[in-house]
Amino acid sequence: MSRARPKSFQRQAAAAGYEQGGGCFDFLAIPAVVLLASVSLGFLSLRNIPPVDSANPPRAAPSALSPIFRAEVLYWADSISRWAAAAGLDPNLAATVMQIESCGDPRARSSAGAMGLFQVMPFHFHALDNPYDPETNAARGLAYLARSLAAGGGDARLALAGYNGGIGVISRGEWSWPAQTKRYVRYGVPIYEDARGGFSSSAALSEWYEKYGAGLCRQAGRRLGLSGL
């Protein structure tokens, strides 16, 4: 989070267009004719279905939360969907932030003092909040992400930059962003695009994991009882 500042064929019988009288068919014959016509057209439509290319099968439509995220993040899948809905956000954007921030470790803490699943800075919490409570941490963190998204005009790239570097960076040229914010966006944007695009894996997430996330995710796995992964 901010270190600087606080995604068949249906027919109806009535559409057949037949009129009673004035034709070759009487009223009782209409249902049989409609049935025969429907069956015939059904067979014709089946002949027009293109074959499946087994070498390049179509991607499945994306679910509420993409499967590309690490198991430690998917552990929170139901909660992420609920939290994101409450904040008016795409759950895949929320999961992207959790992936990079904590890899699903609810007790994560950064050297700058950010805490919990969404690495929320202390000044975002209320006086009686428990920063490490997942519900509270998500409420505060995703509220800030929603503000960042609004400040960026709905642009996920700017929202991610604002979440990491403070909303103030959104109005500045990207060349002036802190190095950490540039790196955050460099990985966060393609991870989010892969998630919302319906892919089953993400090269960007794999690279992030190898370079920066392995230790973080191992810690999260131990915390969640998933250390065998």
In the chain, domain spans: 71-224
pLDDT of residue 176: 96
pLDDT of residue 61: 39
Q: What is the mean pLDDT of the chain?
A: 81
**What is the Cα–Cα distance from 134 to 111, expressed in whole angstroms?**
20
Reported pTM: 0.74
- Is the pLDDT reported for residue 113 higher than 60? yes
Q: How many CB atoms lie within 10 A of CB 49?
A: 7
pLDDT of residue 3: 55
pLDDT interval class at 229 (50, 70, 90) = low
Average pLDDT over residues 92-104: 98
- Is the pLDDT reported for residue 94 higher than 90? yes
- CATH number of the structural domain 71-224: 1.10.530.10
Backbone angles phi, psi at 109, to 5 degrees: -145, 135
